[in-house]
């Protein structure tokens, strides 16, 4: 009628998990039953992330000569492995041996080894049997014991209180028990040469210590109680089954006929009833009783008497609540001050760190290392840290995530204000220069170098400066479509104008040579053709880009850890760099042509200024590419805006500042005679 022992093993695991005890020592009796226990428990411990600090076999018969050596070994095991929780599997003699060794170790080392230690004992160990022969049970304070489940039938206490040694003369055992329990003797007892107090029969069982007689029903008694009722039910079922068995009752005398025990097995397996306590009594298909275990907290008094308090239940057939425990009822050693004992190989890793296994140690022994950059852990003892969601980032302690803020280069922040102000200032300067050239359009210095191309260059520079404002603010669908394509086309017009100016000078010089065939190219048509053809090629590239894979608003959650950058996804990076590449090609051609023509003997030659301006222009954009690729977030936008403004300012300053100087500040030099004399 005992429950399946495998349920007890699972209950031990659940108890260890409940209290977080992952580093435990095992004391196991050295026999076949101990081997079976280890074979069942060790896999369960590993599967549930619990480690055995050591496994010590308890001999059934220890030699006295080995006690001192074994006591030293026991001391080192208990004190040197960080384990504060021990599971004991054996019988009462196992506890005798263990308690003697621990007492010897305490005497030898003059150190109390029991404070903070918790002992978990299996149902095979009977504390009552221990107490009758040993008085050093103080070593086993903070003990949790598994016992076979019991319940008290109605009227059981009343029955015990009414028991009298003379109530049934046929029960000889009752008188013997009475004499031994109360230390008295009945007149009819044969106890020679021993003078003891006479038993009055008025003694009360409830006055006996619990170690001598327990007033409540124990697990073994409850099992016997259920067994008797189960057999009675089986006998009744057997007597009622006339189709399969012979009648067990004689119709005339009502006496039981001979019956073999094996004949009751089928009826026992089908037994199912509620006993007087209201609990169901039945058997499984394997013939095991459907029962469980009680979890008891053992309270040991200074005189080594004990009292057991039920603090939990292990009911394998209770659905989701197979294991219950009531911590408030637990009795811990006074050194613990009612603080939950700790039994772990390594201290818990706090949130923000992860476990790293120690080399050569069991998996319960580990170091705690901080989470790597960009990862967090939110619970204790996490084996690995993990990434925050894309829209969040780790906090400083790496134990939580903080929502990222959506950012973009706005007109309100200092950098945005500075760039917008610079773009506005350059636009105004360009407009002022254009106004000056229009006002003085009839002067020699304005007319000398293709007046229409000059106006086109100034207008394109003005639009370049204004186009940089498209890169500021929260990017929308329209701005994403416009800003890169507008920048590419407008700058292509500006560089094409510079190239046209340079080629015009070269063709004009070559046409002055006798018999030159270049004279037919002299004029405005060549310059217009260069500007239109070069600009249309860039416009075609941008048109293909917008038609196939146009830019669109996007959120960049990866580039900056703490921010979400609202940006324009270029759609096709290939097309974007193709636009830049074509612009770079035009710039290099313009620079090379201007550099080769810088010393031509033309009075109105401006190629030396164009050379310097294109040098500045190319330097800016050559620097832009690596800088753009190495920056993230809104800094990328700022780099592109600055490159647009810097390169445009280089063209404006290098080409037009000398002419504006003469037109505005030295008007006396703005005549054909002076220009020819100065070879400007």
297 and 286: one domain?
Answer: no
* Structural domain includes residue 28: yes
Its sign, for the CA torsion 630, 634, 639, 640, is positive
Give 178 or 253, the one with higher predicted confidence. Answer: 178
**pTM beyond 0.75, yes or no:** no
Q: Would you say residue 557 has pLDDT above 80?
A: yes
Q: Is residue 119 part of a domain?
A: yes
- Token pair listed for 299: 């309270």
Which residue is listed with tokens 């007033």?
215
Domain co-membership, 470 together with 532: yes
Range of the domain at 189: 151-216
Same domain, 456 and 576: yes
Do 508 and 604 sit in the same domain of this protein? yes
Whether 117 maps to a domain, the answer reads yes
Same domain, 575 and 509: yes
- Residue 341 lies inside a defined structural domain of this protein: no
Is the Cβ–Cβ distance between 498 and 593 less than 8 Å?
no
**Mean pLDDT score, 639-666:** 87
Average pLDDT over residues 435-461: 85
| Mean pLDDT of the region 670-679 | 59
CA distance 661 to 142: 99
Cα–Cα distances (Å) from 439 to 106, 272, 443, 450, 656, in that order, read: 111, 116, 9, 16, 15
Q: What CATH number has the domain bearing residue 482?
A: 1.20.1070.10
How does DSSP assign 590-616, residue by residue? HHHHHHHTTT---TT--HHHHHHHHHH
Average pLDDT over residues 639-657: 89
pLDDT tens per residue across span 174-200 = 888 888 888 888 776 555 545 568 888
Does the pLDDT at position 440 exceed 60? yes
Specify the DSSP element, H or E, that contains 197.
strand 197-198
Q: CA angle, 158 as apex, 157 and 160 as ends, to 5°?
A: 65
**Same domain for 439 and 564?**
yes
Asked if residue 343 is part of any domain, the answer here is: no
Q: Is residue 123 part of a domain?
A: yes
**Sign of dihedral through CA atoms 246, 248, 249, 255?**
positive
**Closest among 94, 61, 57 to 73, alpha carbons compared:** 57
Instruction: Tell whether the model's pLDDT for residue 422 goes beyond 90.
Output: yes
Do 433 and 474 belong to one domain?
Answer: yes
- Residues 176, 300: one domain? no
Given this model, what pLDDT does residue 133 score? 46
| Residue 252: inside a domain | no
Asked whether residue 375 is assigned to any structural domain, the reply reads yes
Per-residue model confidence (pLDDT) at position 265: 77
CATH, residue 118:
3.40.50.2300
Same structural domain, 508 and 555? yes
User: How deeply is 639 buried, as exposed, middle or buried, from its count of CB atoms within 10 A (0-12, 13-18, 19+)?
Assistant: middle
Q: H helices of 288-443, where?
A: 414-439
Total number of residues shown for the chain: 680
Total domains in the fold of the chain: 5
Residue among 479, 496, 485, 489 at smallest CA distance from 593:
496
**In terms of domains, do 495 and 522 share one?**
yes
- Whether 522 and 642 map to the same domain: the answer is yes
Evaluate whether 416 touches 470 at the Cβ level (below 8 Å): no
Range with the lowest mean pLDDT among 29-38, 210-219, 268-277? 210-219
Q: Could you tell me if 325 and 297 lie in one domain?
A: yes
pLDDT, residue 420, reads 92
Mean pLDDT of all residues in 86-109:
73
């Amino acid at each position: 009628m005992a429950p399946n022992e495998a349920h007890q093993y699972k209950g031990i695991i659940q108890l260890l998990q409940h209290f977080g005890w992952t580093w435990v020592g095992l004391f196991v009796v050295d026999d076949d039953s101990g081997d079976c226990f280890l074979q069942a428990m060790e896999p369960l411990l590993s599967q549930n992330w619990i480690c055995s600090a050591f496994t010590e076999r308890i001999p059934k018969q220890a030699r006295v000569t080995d006690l001192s050596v074994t006591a030293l070994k026991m001391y080192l095991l208990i004190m040197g492995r960080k384990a504060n929780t021990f599971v004991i599997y054996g019988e009462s003699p196992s506890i005798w041996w263990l308690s003697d060794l621990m007492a010897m170790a305490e005497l030898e080392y003059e150190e109390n080894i029991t404070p903070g230690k918790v002992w978990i004992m299996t149902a095979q160990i009977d504390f009552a049997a221990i107490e009758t022969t040993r008085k050093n049970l103080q070593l086993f304070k903070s003990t949790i014991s598994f016992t076979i489940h019991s319940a008290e039938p109605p009227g059981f206490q009343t029955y015990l209180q009414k028991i009298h040694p003379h109530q049934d003369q046929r029960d000889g055992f009752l008188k013997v028990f009475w004499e031994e329990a109360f230390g008295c003797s009945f007149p009819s007892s044969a106890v020679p040469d021993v003078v003891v107090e006479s038993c009055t029969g008025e003694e009360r069982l409830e006055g006996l210590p619990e170690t001598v007689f327990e007033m409540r029903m124990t697990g073994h008694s409850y099992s016997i109680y259920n067994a008797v009722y189960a057999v009675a039910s089986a006998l009744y079922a057997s007597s009622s089954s006339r189709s399969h068995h012979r009648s067990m009752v004689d119709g005339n005398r009502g006496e039981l006929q001979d019956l073999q025990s094996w004949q009751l097995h089928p009826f026992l397996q089908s037994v199912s009833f509620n006993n007087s306590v209201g609990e169901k009594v039945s058997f499984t298909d394997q013939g095991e009783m459907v029962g469980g275990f009680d979890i008891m907290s053992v309270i040991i008094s200074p005189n080594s008497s004990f009292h057991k308090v039920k603090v939990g239940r292990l009911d394998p057939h209770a659905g989701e609540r197979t294991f219950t425990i009531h911590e408030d009822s637990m009795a811990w050693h006074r050194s613990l001050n009612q603080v939950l004992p700790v039994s772990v190989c390594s201290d818990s890793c706090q949130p923000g760190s992860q476990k790293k296994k120690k080399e050569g140690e069991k998996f319960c022994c580990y170091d705690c290392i901080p989470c790597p950059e960009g990862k967090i852990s939110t619970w204790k003892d996490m084996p690995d840290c993990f990434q925050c969601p894309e829209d969040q980032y780790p906090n400083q302690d790496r134990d939580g995530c903080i929502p990222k803020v959506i950012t973009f280069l706005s007109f309100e922040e200092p950098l945005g204000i500075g760039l917008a102000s610079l773009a506005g200032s350059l636009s105004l300067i360009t407009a002022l220069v254009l106004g000056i050239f229009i006002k003085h359009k009839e002067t020699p210095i304005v007319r000398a170098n293709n007046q229409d191309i000059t106006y086109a260059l100034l207008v394109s520079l003005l639009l370049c400066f204004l186009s940089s404002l498209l890169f500021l603010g929260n990017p929308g669908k329209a701005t994403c479509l416009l800003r890169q394509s507008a920048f590419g086309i407008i700058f292509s017009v500006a560089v094409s104008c510079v190239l046209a100016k340079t080629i015009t000078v070269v063709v004009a010089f070559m046409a002055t040579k006798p018999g030159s065939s270049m004279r037919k190219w002299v004029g405005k048509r060549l310059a217009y053709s260069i500007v239109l053809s070069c600009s249309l090629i860039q416009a075609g590239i941008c048109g293909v880009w917008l038609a196939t894979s146009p830019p669109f608003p996007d959120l960049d959650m990866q580039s900056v850890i703490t921010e979400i950058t609202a940006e324009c996804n270029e759609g096709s990076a290939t097309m974007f760099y193709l636009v830049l590449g074509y612009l770079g090609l035009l710039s290099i051609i313009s620079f090379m042509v201007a550099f080769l023509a810088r010393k031509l003997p033309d009075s109105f030659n401006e190629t030396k200024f164009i050379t310097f301006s294109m040098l500045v222009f190319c330097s800016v954009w050559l620097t832009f590419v690596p800088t753009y690729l190495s920056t993230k977030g809104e800094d990328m936008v700022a780099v592109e805006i600055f490159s647009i403004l810097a390169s445009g300012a280089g063209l404006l300053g290098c080409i037009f500042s000398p002419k504006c100087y003469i037109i505005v500040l030295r008007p006396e030099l703005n005549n054909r005679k002076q220009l020819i004399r100065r070879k400007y």
